[in-house]
Structure 1
Amino acid sequence: MPGRRPTTIARSRLALTFLAWLFLLLGGPAVATAQAPTAATSDAPLVLVFDLDGAVGPATSEYLRRGLETAAAREAELAVILMDTPGGLDSSTREIIADILASPTPVAVFVTPAGSRAASAGTYILYASHLAAMAPGAHLGAATPVQMGGSNPLMPERREGDDAAGDDAAQPDAMTAKVTNDAVAYIRSLAGLHGRNADWAERAVRRAETLTATEALDQGVIEILTRDLDGLLAAADGRTVMVNGQARVLNTAGAQVETLAPNWRARVLAVITNPNIAYLLMMVGVYGLIFEFTSPGAVGPGAVGAVSLLLGLFALNMLPVDYAGVALMALGVGLLLLEALAPGLGIFGAAGAIALALGSVMLFREAPGFKLSPYVILSTVGLSLAFFVIALRAVAQSTRRAVATGQAALLTAHAVVKSWDGDRGYVHAQGEDWHARSAVPLSPGQPVRIAARDGLTLTVEPENPA
């Protein structure tokens, strides 16, 4: 129909826009924030600076990978990572370390300003760097894998004076031991690359030990203790570092310093990989699709729901997800939907809300900097319960109403005889006059019930047969 074509075109354009945006976000080429290599404006060496502030995650890995690629392309003398992190995801940490080790550009990690930290994942990244520096007042350590956190109530605690047998009894379970030993071997191998203190690194993993900046310098964990970036560059000038197995003397005196900010892709990734945002995207996606299925033709909820669900699943794929939590959330949504469509005295709704809440709590495994806010969980579960119990129940009730138009409604309607002759005549029904027939004689003004329809002829019978 001519009147519907603009709407169809507009919807098609909207869908194409969503698809193009998804392509660029999830797999398309990212636009670099740094300029392409150009002819040097001076003979001064180039130093590129990156800011790692916050939890280490997929966005951090993306940002530093492209930053180090830019540093290599522009033949920078040194890449400096300004670090202040509580830790983060193991997968992202290993990606960053692999990029540092493969970089042809020397990488310095500078834990700054005063009060900052290189905890957990940050300690591993610092050990992987070609040059390690800290500001006075900063600290590092506590590199114990998060999976080891807490105590096992089934194991006795080690006490002073316990004998060897007691020590054996207090050893961690096999899985914890595997995680610990893997982490120890990993950080010791990183320490060996640049001659740093491997024994303390092992204690940071096994005993969660920490060091202040001064202690780190005294124990051979870092090479430079300085207050600012200028002090770092002055102290780094003339030092020899090992880059891909080859000695390289740094020339940072009078260097031209540029700070590279994350590009748009890394910024979007940082937003959607926030556990709270990923969780909300997934829930909006589920509810949008449910609303579209229960009210076909709305288009908007379905389109927004599909995009939100894809973004949420993409983010969850990069986060430490516990699939038992996902299963509980799916069960909770299903029970709430069942309560809306087939009310069960609130049993389904209560069970669904409990399952959704428990699944939300269990959704993400513990990782520094990646936590789901309890306020987000409570708000989402409450809104979900209200949405399903009120909105979807209204939709379900509307589907059970009697048909008000069309042939189905006509066959249950009442009519009044206008004129009659023998077994045929005319009746008035739903505002129209219809040709009708009946097996019994009728009279004008008599109320009748429509029993059947054959084309434009109705079969009627008296409402109150004698």
Structure 2
Amino acid sequence: MRSKKFLLASILFLSGTLLALQDSTMQSDSLTVDELSEQPSVSVIRVEGTIGPTVTQYITRSIRQSIENGDEALIIELDTPGGLLDSTQDIVQQMLGTDHPTVVYVTPSGANAGSAGTFITLAAHVAAMAPATNIGAASPISMGGGEMDTVAQKKIFNYSESFIESIADERDRNAEWARSAVRDGASISSDEALELNVIDILAEDIDDLLVQLDGMEVGERVLNTQNATISQIEETLAEQFFSFLLRPEVMLILTLVAIYGIIGEVTNPGAIVPGVSGVIALILLLYGVAAMPINLAGFLLIGLAIILFVAEAFTPAFGILLTGGAVSFFLGALMLFQDLPDEMQISLYWLVPATLLTVAFFAWIVTYGVKSLFNPPRSGLESTIGKTAEVVDTIQPDQDGRVFFDGEYWTAKSEHELEEGETCEIIEFQGLRVFVKPTEQQNIDETEKV
């Protein structure tokens, strides 16, 4: 009896122990799920090279996606020599207009937030730099490119100074230095930027940045980034494609393909491939022209060059027009991108070969292609015009006859009488009827008889 009670008590004890362990495990799993669901996160994007329309789209999309992810902040790793003023304005407006924390981190060591990059860095909620990096040189000449007269230069300087000052004031940063970056082209190192209250953080790497960001107040939000997970927001395929498309050398190539393709189709109707390629290149080029501040005078000079090249095919100018076209094309392509910043202008390593290739194209292909349009037809009925035929049935001015040529009999009509066995010259086709006239030899023979 006692053994049975002991066995029952043991079973109850073991059951209670197992239930307790199971409950403890479930609570532990629940805590793990809760901790994971509350794990903070940040999104990181990388912006390198010049600031243009595709960079604006990339940053705008990343801010929106970071908000959707519920991130603590969006970190923009920046290394740029500058870019377009219009694109910079759009990016700054996006950053100033959002409550979502944005952090601009100038990295790696040796990186630069030059020109447009200065505006973008100052517009961030938190500005950070890696050691041995630089910021500044935000003068409007570097941002806009091209030559400006005194009045226009004064206006753009005044606007840029007031623009960067308003950004610095909005973010409680050193507005006096910001103005000097525009007015005098001032540039400082990361250590000086921290000392002068241009930036907020000097961080060795991204992990150090997250540690220093932890606990900072951004608006009404306290950042929790020390143990945050990092996710990269990559450029989409479309953004990569259009970023590649808007490079000056690519736009120059598109210009050449459009010219070669369309001229090739005109001189060789029905080839299809040159025409389709030229039209596609022209459409992509027009997209680039709409997105970038292309110089109109450059396009006019390139158009003049094409006119001179084609004129060379019909004018015995002994290469003078071809030389003029080459000079016009070179200057036009050079001017095409002069309104862009220096780092976005076309290199002579691209421009000189492109000019030589274009001259060779028009000197060889176009010259013979255009001339071929005015050569006599070499196939079809039109190719027989001017050839001789034999009269097999007498032809009267008011009565049709028949002629024989190329192994075929044709109904023929003529304004002159032609006897059987005589030769005649074909002058025209109308449906299944051919119009003929006496040959020159026939006329000579008739004259001699008289």
Pick the TM interval, shorter chain.
Answer: 0.7 to 0.9
In the alignment, does 2:65 pair up with 1:92? no
**Taking structure 1 as reference, are residues 54 and 450 closer, same or farther at Cα in structure 2, changes over 3 Å only?**
closer
Cα deviation, residue 288, structure 1? 1.4
Q: Could you give the per-residue CA deviations for residues 247-296 of structure 1, whole angstroms, max 9, x where no partner exists?
A: 32211121111011101121111111111112211231232122222322
**Taking structure 1 as reference, are residues 73 and 262 closer, same or farther at Cα in structure 2, changes over 3 Å only?**
same
Cα deviation, residue 428, structure 1? 3.2
Give 2:405's aligned residue.
429
Bigger radius of gyration, 1 or 2?
A: 2
Cα deviation, residue 342, structure 1? 4.4
Cα deviation, residue 452, structure 1? 6.5
Cα deviation, residue 351, structure 1? 1.5
State the one-letter code of the partner of 2:136.
Answer: G
In the alignment, does 2:234 pair up with 1:239? no
Tell me, in whole angstroms, the C-alpha distance in 2 between the residues paired with 1:47 and 1:209: 33
The alignment partner of 2:313 has SS state of helix
- Aligned counterpart for 2:320 among listed residues 347, 366, 372: 347
Cα deviation, residue 333, structure 1? 1.7
State the one-letter code of the partner of 2:345.
Answer: K
Tell me the TM-score normalised to structure 2 length: 0.82
1:369-448 matches, within 5 Å, as 369-416=343-390, 427-434=403-410, 442=419, 444=421, 447-448=423-424
In the alignment, does 2:183 pair up with 1:206? yes
Cα deviation, residue 427, structure 1? 4.4
Cα deviation, residue 368, structure 1? 4.5
Cα deviation, residue 435, structure 1? 5.5
The alignment partner of 1:80 has SS state of strand
Question: Superposition RMSD on alpha carbons, in Å?
Answer: 2.9
1:306-385 matches, within 5 Å, as 306-364=279-337, 365-385=339-359
The alignment partner of 1:362 has SS state of helix
Tell me, in whole angstroms, the C-alpha distance in 1 between the residues paired with 2:284 and 2:143: 31
**Taking structure 1 as reference, are residues 236 and 148 closer, same or farther at Cα in structure 2, changes over 3 Å only?**
closer
1:13-92 matches, within 5 Å, as 42-92=37-87
Q: Could you give the per-residue CA deviations for residues 313-345 of structure 1, whole angstroms, max 9, x where no partner exists?
A: 111222221111121112112221222354533
- Aligned counterpart for 1:189 among listed residues 166, 175, 194: 166
Give 2:125's aligned residue.
130
**Taking structure 1 as reference, are residues 60 and 437 closer, same or farther at Cα in structure 2, changes over 3 Å only?**
closer
**Taking structure 1 as reference, are residues 257 and 436 closer, same or farther at Cα in structure 2, changes over 3 Å only?**
closer
**Taking structure 1 as reference, are residues 450 and 294 closer, same or farther at Cα in structure 2, changes over 3 Å only?**
closer
Cα deviation, residue 301, structure 1? 1.6
Tell me, in whole angstroms, the C-alpha distance in 1 between the residues paired with 2:144 and 2:284: 31
**Taking structure 1 as reference, are residues 238 and 399 closer, same or farther at Cα in structure 2, changes over 3 Å only?**
same
Give 1:108's aligned residue.
103
State the one-letter code of the partner of 1:56.
Answer: I
| Higher RCO by CA contacts (8 Å cutoff, separation 6 or greater) | 1
Tell me, in whole angstroms, the C-alpha distance in 1 between the residues paired with 2:187 and 2:232: 29
Q: Could you give the per-residue CA deviations for residues 193-218 of structure 1, whole angstroms, max 9, x where no partner exists?
A: 12111111111111111111111111
Tell me, in whole angstroms, the C-alpha distance in 2 between the residues paired with 1:152 and 1:119: 20
**Taking structure 1 as reference, are residues 460 and 220 closer, same or farther at Cα in structure 2, changes over 3 Å only?**
closer
- Structure 2: segments with no counterpart, 5+ residues: 1-33
Give 2:278's aligned residue.
305
- Structure 1: segments with no counterpart, 5+ residues: 1-38, 154-171
**Taking structure 1 as reference, are residues 146 and 229 closer, same or farther at Cα in structure 2, changes over 3 Å only?**
same
**Taking structure 1 as reference, are residues 98 and 417 closer, same or farther at Cα in structure 2, changes over 3 Å only?**
same
Give 1:10's aligned residue.
none
**Taking structure 1 as reference, are residues 368 and 72 closer, same or farther at Cα in structure 2, changes over 3 Å only?**
farther
The alignment partner of 1:136 has SS state of coil
Tell me the TM-score normalised to structure 1 length: 0.79
Q: Could you give the per-residue CA deviations for residues 98-148 of structure 1, whole angstroms, max 9, x where no partner exists?
A: 111122310011111111111111111110001011111111111111269
CA contact (8 A) 1:57 1:89 kept: yes
**Taking structure 1 as reference, are residues 223 and 405 closer, same or farther at Cα in structure 2, changes over 3 Å only?**
closer
1:236-275 matches, within 5 Å, as 236-242=213-219, 247-275=220-248
1:258-297 matches, within 5 Å, as 258-297=231-270
State the one-letter code of the partner of 1:412.
Answer: G
CA contact (8 A) 2:47 2:78 kept: yes
**Taking structure 1 as reference, are residues 332 and 70 closer, same or farther at Cα in structure 2, changes over 3 Å only?**
same
Tell me, in whole angstroms, the C-alpha distance in 2 between the residues paired with 1:271 and 1:307: 16
Q: Quick check: which one's helix share is greater?
A: 2
**Taking structure 1 as reference, are residues 420 and 108 closer, same or farther at Cα in structure 2, changes over 3 Å only?**
closer
The alignment partner of 2:47 has SS state of strand
Cα deviation, residue 421, structure 1? 11
CA contact (8 A) 1:292 1:299 kept: yes
Tell me, in whole angstroms, the C-alpha distance in 1 between the residues paired with 2:427 and 2:111: 84
Q: Could you give the per-residue CA deviations for residues 356-392 of structure 1, whole angstroms, max 9, x where no partner exists?
A: 1101111111415312121222122212111112111
